[in-house]
Amino acid sequence: MTAHPLQGITVVALEQAIAAPLATRHLADLGARVIKIERPEVGDFARAYDTTVRGMSSHFVWANRSKESLTLDLQQEQARNVLHRLLVKADVFIQNFAPGACDRLGLGTAELRRRYPRLIICNLSGYGATGPYRDQKAYDLLIQSEAALLSITGTAETPSKVAISIADIAAAMYAYSGILTALLVRKETGQGTALEISLFEALAEWMGYPAYYTAYGGSAPERAGGKHASIAPYGPFAGGDGKVIYLGVQNEREWNNFCKQVLRRPELATDPRFTSNSKRVENRAELEELITGIFCQLSSEAVSRRLEEARIAHARMNSVEEFLEHPQLTARNRWRHIDSPVGELRSLIPPLTMENVEPVMGAVPALGQHTEAILKELGFEKQKRITTKGTKKSEHLQPQRAQRNTEEVQRKIRKSKAKQKLYHGAGGRGEKQIQITTKGTKKSGKQHLQPQRRAK
């Protein structure tokens, strides 16, 4: 196997839910180092979507393998300093916070472009950074609704949501491909750039066929359940044993073969009601009645054999349990095992198969699992301190330079009697400061973080 294509690329991600995490997971699959910044204590809220994977969320496990988790409370200045130290050496910064949130943290695109000219900045949002919908909530269901996907999905009686997070997935894939493109451009120009992807516009692109169909055909595609709104025959048909087979006829050559070899009614190929796809759609009810009348006399296995002989595309509807044991996935060696906080998990490798490249299939991180190691890498190192006059030992995160003369640092703190507003990346939100006084006051401490430049 060759080296991973994105080895040496560092991605810093302020991400949550699905869109940004899925994009960065695909980058991690190719060898990029992805540092996922999460809120202390709670982390990415997708961690709590469900508990089906031995107590972990199925969504989180899917979108977050091969990453490092660093917890930072970005409301605190010192935590933002840690983030900026990461960005000095980062190649990509991606975020999917609400529009304006990063600007309020001093992490807006213009500021980052000024400070880090080689950085590729990728912003994902629901509707984009401008326009009347800029500040609207943008959950996947709502995007499907606004993009009219719900209006053409489901049965005639019931509009239905696509069961997977299709808007998030669409945006993730455009972010992924956009970042790869930007890396290629930077190789030529030496300069970073800024990308913007919205869930709404990503799904709008995927609505291309119904958009053209409606704009120029005069009406929208009808909801057709498991059938196709504009192709016939296309959909579910039951055999005489009640088992359902899904089939699709895409062109006139297939239609002729279907009539001759599957229905064994060759005259139907030239029936004026069915001589083109448009006519078959127009006369769908009559066509389906004919097909059902023939199939009900056959077992589903016999129908499947006829379809196979005629080279007509067909499939059976698997359950998820059957999909997990699909022989095609097994035959093509698509399964691997990954580590996680709850033990080894079975996971599919990504669909991109590249010659001589094995995808990275790293562990799903625990919340804050890599905080200490990353802080140490940036020049911060944990040390034990013993406070005076019988108080408890307390752990602090001090910069390495401060460790050379901790007594001097402590003397200066006592002299100033100052409140030191400090922060430990892996700790809770409420643990923001320590107050040390000189006369009978209890000395207390949590884990804290001080930047190197302030320790003399």
* String of DSSP letters for 433-448: EEE--SSSPPP-----
Centre a 10 Å sphere on the Cβ of residue 109 and count the other Cβ atoms it contains.
18
User: Comparing C-alpha atoms, which of 54, 104, 119 is closest to residue 74?
Assistant: 104
Single-letter amino acid, residue 264: R
Letter string b/e over residues 20-57, b meaning 16 or more CB atoms within 10 A of that residue's CB:
bbbbbbbbbbbbbbbbbbbbbeebbebbeeeeebeebb
Q: For residue 324, how many other CB atoms are within 10 A of its CB?
A: 12
Local confidence pLDDT in tens for the 456 residues of the chain: 567 999 999 999 999 999 999 999 999 999 999 999 999 999 999 999 999 999 999 999 999 999 999 999 999 999 999 999 999 999 999 999 988 899 999 999 999 999 999 999 999 999 999 999 999 989 999 999 999 999 999 999 999 999 999 999 999 999 999 999 999 999 999 999 999 999 999 999 999 999 999 999 999 999 999 999 899 999 999 999 999 999 999 999 999 999 999 999 999 999 999 999 999 999 999 999 999 999 999 999 999 999 999 999 999 999 999 999 999 999 999 999 999 999 999 999 999 999 999 999 999 999 999 999 999 999 976 432 222 233 333 343 444 443 343 344 344 434 443 333 333 333 333 333 333 333 333 433 334 444 444 333
**Cis bond before residue 233 (omega within 30° of 0):** yes
Residues 154, 177: Cα–Cα separation, whole Å: 30
Answer for the pair 36, 24: CB distance below 8 angstroms, yes or no.
yes
Joined tokens for residue 37: 């910044």
3-state secondary structure of 233: coil
User: Amino acid identity of 161?
Assistant: K
Which residues are CB-contacts of 359 (< 8 A; sequence separation ≥ 6)?
29, 30, 349, 350, 352
Instruction: Kindly report the number of other CB atoms within 10 A of residue 440's CB atom.
Output: 6
Joined together, the tokens standing for residue 316 give: 């059976």
Helix (H, G, I), strand (E, B) or coil at 452: helix
Running DSSP on this structure, what letter comes out for residue 151?
Answer: G
| DSSP symbol at 396 | E
d(CA 302, CA 318) in angstroms, rounded, equals: 18
Question: Looking at the DSSP assignment, which residues form a beta bridge with residue 335?
Answer: 348
What's the pLDDT at 420? 38
Beta bridge mates, 196: 123
Instruction: List domains and CATH numbers for the chain.
Output: 10-209+324-371 (3.40.50.10540), 234-321 (3.30.1540.10), 381-454 (no CATH)
Adjacent-strand bridge partners of 314: 247
For residues 376 and 289, what is the distance between their CA atoms, to the nearest angstrom?
71
* 84, containing H or E segment: helix 77-89
Neighbours of 170 (CB within 10 A): 24
Sheet strands (E) in 52-168: 67-71, 92-95, 120-125
Tokens read off for 34: 């992805």
